[in-house]
Amino acid sequence: MPQDKKPLILALTGDYFIIPRLEDAGASLGFEVEVVEAPSALGAEGDPVAREIPLTEPLEGPDAAFVRGIVDRRPALILVDVTSQVIPWERWTQILKTSAATRRIPIVAFGPHVETEVLQRAAGAGADKVVSRGKLQASLSELIQEHARVLDFEALIKACDGEPSKLATEGLELLNAGDYYEAHEHLEHAWMEASEFEGYLYRTLLQVSVAYLQVERGNYAGAVKMMLRVRQWLEPLPNRCRGVDVAALRRNVAAFSEALDRAGPEGLSELDRAYLKPIPLLR
């Protein structure tokens, strides 16, 4: 997310009494508000595709389109109306909270206080907070301030000063030499030892390395999932971070991801390995 772009509140609701209040509260706190009244707004209409492993990102059907829509938007907060008869809020909440690409996004679910069973289902699906509609209306600004995940860009920029750690440097060298497995081992340890914001860069490099490794192993689903997951770490980074040309890295990752999508599972073996570009470094 560019630093000059307002953080987003995504509201899954068609409640026309709450929407104006939400827009006013969001604007007063510096947020953009997007309302999704139906799955079609995210290109996610239709019946879901059954998944063998449900606790991960869906890669087919409307649920895959839903996750991609959320990853594209990277909201700071999602509000879920449990009275919606159009949005599959329970399934979507569970998908968001069991997918590594989206589970960090806070979810506040709301509904009538008399609908205790429905509110409990929202909590069971993974909502971080469940409130009555009355509570939401009375404390909307407070709930946004308490639960929205807004990135500290100044801290992230500061963390990008200097050189990469020794482990990260070794991981970078291995990655750029094409030894993706050993690279991911070093980069995982670098991330685990780093501070929160320095870790954004190392998690980016780690997931790029794993994506390349999955391509080498013929694991299309694994590579695509890494491309979904990496964006939460890569996109907020400044264009230069600890010796890495992040702007060029974003372009390379986008081209690689698009090539993966074009190839599909059947064409992975024919994917031009030139898309597995080394990490661009600053001179």
Query: What domains can you pick out in the chain, each with its CATH number?
Result: 8-147 (3.40.50.2300), 155-275 (1.10.3450.10)
Mean pLDDT calculated for residue range 26-43: 97
* pLDDT of amino acid 1: 47
Tell me the three state secondary structure of residue 132. strand
**Does pLDDT of 2 surpass 90?**
no
Helix pair angle (198-216, 246-263), 10° resolution:
30
- Cα-only R_g, the chain: 20
Give yes or no for a contact between 70 and 103, defined as CB atoms under 8 angstroms apart.
no
Q: What is the pLDDT of residues 37-78, one digit of tens each?
A: 999 999 999 999 988 777 799 999 999 999 999 999 999 999
- Per the listing, tokens 């599972």 go with 265
The helices-and-strands tally (H runs, E runs) of the chain is 12, 7
What is the percent of the chain with per-residue pLDDT over 70, rounded to a whole number?
99
Tokens standing for 66? 């839903």
Please tell me the distance from the alpha carbon of residue 65 to that of residue 43, in angstroms, as a whole number: 6
- Per-residue pLDDT at 41: 96
Q: What percent of the chain has pLDDT over 90?
A: 94
Kindly report the average pLDDT of the chain as a whole number: 96
